[in-house]
Amino acid sequence: MLRRKECFWLLLPFLISFPPPLFMPGNARANETPPVFGVPATEKVPATDAARPTTESEESVKKQPAYPKKVASPPKHLNAADNLSPDTDNGKRETEQDIMEKTLELLNISQEFWVKGDFESALDVLDQAYAMLLETNGDADILRQKDDLRLLISKKILAIYTSKHTVTNGMRSPIPIVMNGEVEKEIRSFQTVERDFFLQAYQRSHFYRPVIIEALRKAGLPEELSWLPLVESGYKIRALSKARALGLWQFIPSTGYKYGLNRGEWIDERMDVEKSTQAAIGYLKDLHDMFGDWLTVLAAYNCGEGRVLRVISGQHLEYLDRFWDLYSKLPNETARYVPRFLATLHIVNNPQKYSMNLDAQPENQPMYAYDVVATSKCMNLQDIASRINVPEELLGILNAELRYKRTPEKEYSLKVPPETAEKLCSIMKEIPSAEKPQNAESRRIAMIRHKVKAGETLSYIARRYNTTVGAIRKYNRALAKKSVRAGQNLMVPVSSAQAANLAKGGASPEIEISRHRVKKGDTLSSLARRFETTVSKIRQTNSIKGNTIKVGQVLKFNRKTAADSSSDSRKGG
């Protein structure tokens, strides 16, 4: 180990000026030799087994069994220094050349250990190779080869130390539980201003962590990751962030789709405990394959891999890509996110040290277990819970993916607590049907034209159309903070469903406002057909000159609704 450290620190200035090792375990076959960095193309590199005949002594090397876990000293037949002949310079040079070749053989043996994941044996063999080099002191050619091999050994030591932290070891967690000033600051926050949040989240964790831990074990990921939802969502299945991230694991819609979480009119699987946990495991695995360092993985989980990669690409030294190397350049929320996770691990591992009273799981708390019942009827979970005599909250957690806490009007696998499935099947016909939730069409905004009459105020108009004063002012900027006057025309925002009902009662025609984000392949003509309008009206509404629209651009559409259609039919009748 002393030689290893000596070799590494003596050559650190050289390592900084060279690119990092290209080899990682699993990316090459066991018999491949990594490139010799730093050796000029015109220099003669010591011959490998494939480039020269095999000697009798080397045959004996190949026939020997693999090195044990700890290699105390190199085999005698590889210690060529014992055979140095002081008789002639030529004899000494040939012997030292043999040492160069024996050193290269040890490098190949180290490579085999590394590929197998036996890091300690790989490093011990490299120690032996470096010790053999120290015994040579030949002419210029020998010294040049010696320097090249010393550099290669040092770079391989660095690569092995790096790769030791890139293997997912399952229960043998590689997550380094660091303690520093940033972590201590987050611990103090949990002890004081966020104490109630932490204790409440910890209590909720009893219900979810057994499910999460089981999934992590099957995937071979560290169990410590089961505490990540405490930092992400406080173990709240319906937690929604400003960035529209939802659920225990806080998936935004696009990442959720990527990892198999569906969203529809009735369900959003980001709120499902089991499905979102599997998606989180898939995402964490992909990030681990990308970064290798668990703390950097967590940073990327919070702010996105693209942001972390941009920060890494801005580093002047290529090997400074660990989390604490990037810490100061990451967004503030992400820079706090990882220390908060580490602070959580410190507290749950030793609550007494941090004066946190973390009670054990209550005896009467239900477990996350269920039976499945097939349904095809729209029912409120509240009605189901009362009929089968289970807590509504428990039924809601088991079926958290239901957006409106109602079963859909199609085949659905409803989760119910154990031993209640049979009862539900027997009384399902007695449970009243629930109203179908409003779809997106009925929630779309429509505009009603209203002519102010004498004595009317904004408050009166807002109550009449079931809207707010603020909404009316928003769509009538000329009002500002002024009051309305008799004879003034206003545009009043209402829902499409309400507009249709008003149209039946003879209300004025209205214009429906829709918004659409331009996608690849969209044209003004195709959008005009889709939204039942004309290209000229789209241009006019969105102040577009020409026919060019850009992907991602948000367009507004004014199109006729039921009231207009009724009005048109009356005109034509």
Q: What is the pLDDT of residues 96-111, one digit of tens each?
A: 778 878 888 888 888 8
CATH class given for the domain over 440-572: alpha beta
Residues in Cβ contact with 470 at an 8 Å cutoff, skipping those fewer than 6 apart? none
Decide if pLDDT at 354 tops 60: yes
367 CB neighbour count, 10 Å cutoff = 12
Q: How far lies 9's CA from each of 14, 101, 389, in Å?
A: 10, 24, 70
Phi, psi of 447 (to 5 degrees): -115, 130
Smallest Cα–Cα separation from 339: which of 351, 316, 323?
Answer: 323
Q: Does 441 participate in catalysis according to the annotation?
A: no
- DSSP assigned state of 270: G
pLDDT of residue 108: 86
Which pLDDT tens digit goes with each residue over 516-570? 888 888 888 888 887 778 888 888 878 888 888 888 888 877 655 443 433 333 3
- Is the model's pLDDT at 510 over the cut of 60? no
Higher pLDDT, 214 or 547: 214
Q: Which helix (H) or strand (E) holds 228?
A: helix 228-232
Q: Which residue ranges make up each domain of the chain? A: 2-163, 181-349, 371-430, 440-572
* pLDDT at res. 91: 58
Residue 557 bridge partners (DSSP): 514
Q: Give the CB-side neighbour count of residue 403, counting CA atoms within 13 A.
A: 15
What's the start-to-end Cα distance of the chain, in Å?
Answer: 97
Once rounded to an integer, what is the mean pLDDT over residues 212-219?
94
Cβ neighbours of 275 (radius 10 Å): 20
* Catalytic choice (105, 182, 186, 232): 232
User: Do the beta carbons of residue 248 and residue 270 sit within 8 Å?
Assistant: no
Condensed to tens digits (0 to 9), the pLDDT of residues 230-253 reads 999 999 999 998 888 999 999 999
pLDDT bin (cut points 50, 70, 90) of residue 131 is confident
pTM over 0.75: no
Confidence of residue 161 (pLDDT cuts 50, 70, 90): low
Instruction: Name the nearest CA neighbour of 203 among 390, 358, 17.
Output: 358
Which residue's entry shows tokens 């027997």? 426
* Helices (runs of H) and strands (runs of E) counted in the chain: 25, 6
Q: What is the CATH number of domain 181-349?
A: 1.10.530.10
Tens-place pLDDT, residues 443-490: 567 788 888 888 888 888 888 888 888 888 888 877 766 778 888 888
Q: Identify which of 507, 563, 513, 508 has the alpha carbon closest to the alpha carbon of residue 533.
A: 513
List strand residue ranges (DSSP E) for 324-370, in order: none
As a whole number of angstroms, the distance between CA 125 and CA 106 comes to 6
293-320 confidence digits (pLDDT tens): 898 899 999 888 888 888 877 776 555 5
Element of type H or E holding 121: helix 119-134
- The total of other beta-carbon atoms located within 10 Å of residue 139's CB is 11
Contacts of 558 (CB under 8 A, 6+ apart): 511, 512, 513, 533, 537, 541
Q: What is the DSSP string of 42-58?
A: TSPPPP-GGGSPPPHHH
Cβ within 8 Å of residue 98, ≥6 positions away: 80, 83
